[in-house]
Structure 1
Amino acid sequence: MATLSDVAIEAGVSPTAVSRYLNNRIALPQETRDRIDLAIAKLKYRPNLLAKRLSTGRTEAIGLVTPEIANPFFAELAAAVEADAQLHGYAVYMSSTQGDRLREIDAIQRLQDQHVDGLIMMTNEPDDGTLAELLSLQQNVVLLDEDIPGVSLPRIFVENEQGGYLATRHLIDAGHRDIAIVSGPQNLMSVRERMAGFERAMAESGLPVRPDWVLLGAYSRDHGRASATVLLGSDDRPTAVLACSDYIAVGILSMARQLGVQVPWDMSLVGFDDTPFAELVDPPLTTIRQPIAEMGRAAFGQLLALMNNTAVVPQTRLPVQLIIRQSVRNLGETSL
């Protein structure tokens, strides 16, 4: 296996010059750079990563903490982060926490123990102060998708309130007045903001928000199914539902079908995320599109800036978009 000294001899330079060139710590004439590159290719030299990490103090790896990788929303985010990280020479160590606070703590401690150079943090559970306390001691951390109050770190979010408003406005414009909302855990930032958008649209139209039609729980299919059982279990039921994630919407859709309720003719449904399966379900789901890949790229870009000690943006808000498909019925239409 070729060594750095072998490359230096082949290129006719000192081992120190090769080392500093590979670590971008020296400006060399083009002809010298070309000789080193040719020597590396000829000898099939691969840097000793352990030695490099000891000399630079960097692991050339980042951590990505995600609530679950099975959910297409988080999977797409992770893919975008990994693609950009690879372009900049970083490996990505992923932790799927399943909402387990101890797993989240463990991931943060890996950064503290210098197993990674930085961390992109996603959570789907409200913080009880534990995460904020740990993260307040860290620098190279970016919060993605959900907030963790009490820490001063770069944040990447979408316009959640506007998404809730657009979805509800679409239902109202289609003639719906009896509208329920099914969302994630109470006290999560995204839940509060999407609820605020829902309430704004309802208030503009002079429509009441019924407390028994506000169902909060997990961002999961199981919560969607349980909520549909409650909402559709009586004659007094909504004509439309805003599901604040596509996963919730799929749960509602499956339970509605089981109960003999046809979407959209008996009940209209709007989701939130526009994950890949949203257009594949029956009927294709009208939903709020989050720019998922762009969120991942923005998060890595901010983390890279932190790791390179360059300026970062304290908070980034990315726009959302209403995607109209076939899960909303205009009440002026007649059934086939």
Structure 2
Amino acid sequence: MDRREIREKATSLKDVASAAGVSVTTVSRLLNGSLLLPEDTRKRIEDAIRDLNYRPNPHARRLSRGRSDTIGLVVPDIANPFFAAFVAAVEEEADGRSLALSLFATLNRTGREVAYLELLERKHVDGLIFVTNHPDDGELAGLINRVGKVVVVDEDVPAAHAPKLFCDNIEGGYLAGRHLGEHGHHKVLFVGTPGEMLSGSRRLEGLRRGLAGHWGGGAAITSYRGAYTIEFGREAAQRFLAEGMPATAIFASSDEITIGMVEVFRASGVSIPGDVSIVGFDDVAPFHLFAPPITAIRQPVRAIGKRSLALLAETNWQDLASPAPEELMPVEIVVRESVAPPAKR
């Protein structure tokens, strides 16, 4: 069979080897970069590849090397602007490292999280960036510890032996508390997640520290606990109004909660900051376009996304320290117009 006849059918590695006068193993090892050949032999193989228009099967090549060159990214919700920005940053970093990215949305359900973690155990992906948004009863931690090569991001899985990347939640709460204290607020409502979740507990701790800098033990903090959703923000605002507005300021610890609360206040004729001041968290939503623009703690969401993939790619998994390291990304307060001194009621 001459080269013209070979080109009329799908070209295989065997065809290239035959045309170049070498073994299939020699061609495969050259393509995988694991073999140095004399110049004339290498040229014969490259000429055969070009003349036969051979296209290597990337899946077969990856299997032969024992890896997929694909990273899994597990997030609760791709419709959430925070996670959308996070995913875009991870994709950009993966592209720069010539890695494919498989995206999995869990709807924040444990069963789906378990199924996607098991993809790593079955070698469908080389590693996982894992984001959950609910407390763990130990199931997720046990599975992460078994499969390895997982980076936990944004919210903790407490017993997981894995690198962890969070924003500096305590500092974020502190900046919010200090800002509210500077404007004369000592009765503050914290609206966030249950205490079992790292983000909620640390943001509340930071809020206490920030207010204590102005009021010592005289600050009065109440809290409503729920999910990082617009719906919970609405429920929290309705409860706040039903209870007679028991605070002069609110620290709403996510964009979604903030949006839900602002929506209810606006519909109820409650003025921000005339009747109540508010500080949000995340600052991925277009808070600068709100009326009034909302002061918020800004997470570096794109930097978190890029750093999470870098951690996954660069961690020495054989020598991972115990306990695994925790890395914090800096936050900042973006001051706008939603905080003013307490209204006299």
Distance in 1, matches of 2:199 and 2:51, equals 54
Q: Deviations over 1:90-125 (max 9, x none)?
A: 222222112211111111111112111111110010
Query: Would the aligned equivalents of 1:177 and 1:207 in 2 still touch at CA under 8 Å?
Result: no
Number of the residue aligned with 1:112:
121
2:216 aligned partner, one-letter code: G
Describe the shift of the 1:89–1:46 C-alpha distance in structure 2 as closer, same or farther (beyond 3 A). farther
Corresponding residue for residue 62 of structure 2: 53
Distance across 2 between alignment mates of 1:7 and 1:308:
38
Letter in 2 for 1:186: G
Measured at CA, do residues 19 and 9 of structure 1 come closer, stay the same or move farther in structure 2, by a change above 3 Å?
same
Question: Matches of 1:266 and 1:34 in 2, distance apart?
Answer: 79
Q: What is the CA distance between 1:129 and its match in structure 2?
A: 0.7
Give the unaligned 5+ runs of structure 1.
Answer: none
Question: Secondary structure of 2:296's match?
Answer: strand
- Counterpart in the other structure of 2:191: 182
Instruction: Assess, with a 3 A threshold, how the Cα gap between structure 1 residues 208 and 69 changes in structure 2: closer, same or farther.
Output: farther
**Shift, 1:310, TM fit:** 8.2
Q: Which residue of 2 aligns with 1:206?
A: 216
1:92 equivalenced with 2:88 (yes/no): no
Distance 1:165 1:16, change over 3 A: same
Cα offset, 1:58, TM superposition: 1.1
Q: 2:186–2:219: 8 Å Cα contact kept in structure 1?
A: no
CA offset at residue 200 of structure 1?
A: 1.2
Of 85, 94, 97, 1:76 maps to 85
Which string of whole-angstrom CA distances, capped at 9 and with x for unpartnered residues, describes residues 247-269 of structure 1?
A: 11111100111111011222111
Counterpart Cα distance in 2 of 1:264 and 1:20: 68
Aligned residue in 1 for 2:71: 62
SS in 2 for 1:225: helix
Are residue 248 (structure 1) and residue 236 (structure 2) matched? no
Aligned pairs for 1:22-61 within 5 A? 22-26=31-35, 45-61=54-70
Cα distance change of structure 1 residues 83 and 23 upon mapping to structure 2, 3 Å threshold: farther
1:238 maps onto 2:252 in alignment: no
**182-191 vs 309-318, which deviates more?**
309-318
Structure 2 CA distance for aligned equivalents of residues 34 and 254 of structure 1: 69
Which residue pairs with 1:267 in the alignment?
Answer: 276
Distance 1:19 1:314, change over 3 A: farther
The answer as to 2:234 corresponding to 1:225 is yes
2:242 is paired with a residue of what secondary structure?
Answer: coil
- Report the Cα offset of residue 159 of structure 1: 0.8
**Which position in structure 1 is the counterpart of 2:332?**
321
User: 2:164 corresponds to which residue?
Assistant: 155
Cα drift, residue 27 of structure 1: 6.0
**What is the TM-score when the length of structure 2 is the normalising length?**
0.85
Q: Measure how far apart 1:146 and its partner are.
A: 1.2
Identify unmatched segments of 5+ residues in structure 2: 1-9
Measured in 2, the distance between the counterparts of 1:42 and 1:274 equals 55
Q: Mark the CA change 1:59 to 1:234 in structure 2 (over 3 Å): closer, same or farther.
A: same
Query: CA-atom RMSD, angstroms?
Result: 3.0
Paired residue for 1:280? 289
Contact 1:305 1:311 in 2 (8 A): no
Distance 1:32 1:321 in 2: 60
Aligned-pair CA distance for 1:63:
1.3
Report the counterpart of residue 181 of structure 2 in structure 1.
Answer: 172
What amino acid does structure 2 have at the position aligned with 1:173? E
Partner of 1:290: 299
Alignment of 1:117-156 (within 5 A): 117-156=126-165
Deviates more, 1:33-42 or 1:295-304: 33-42
Structure of higher CA gyration radius = 2
Q: Classify the secondary structure of the residue corresponding to 1:64.
A: strand
Equivalent in the alignment of 2:6: none
The CA deviation at 1:4 is 4.4
Q: Does 25-34 or 226-235 show the bigger shift? A: 25-34
State the 1:25 CA deviation.
3.0
Give the SS at the match of 1:206.
helix
- Give the letter for the 1:206 counterpart: G
**SS of match in other structure, 1:137:** helix
Aligned CA distance change for structure 1 residues 221 and 49 (closer, same or farther; 3 Å): same
CA, structure 1 residues 6+309, in 2 after alignment: closer, same or farther (shift >3 Å)? farther
Say whether the 8 Å CA contact 1:118–1:307 is kept in structure 2.
no
* Deviation, structure 1 residue 276: 3.9
How many residues align? The count is: 332
Secondary structure of the residue that 1:126 maps to in structure 2?
coil
> Which piece of structure 1 moves more, 18-27 or 84-93?
18-27
TM-fit CA distance, 1:66: 0.5
Name the stretch that deviates more: 191-200 or 168-177. 168-177
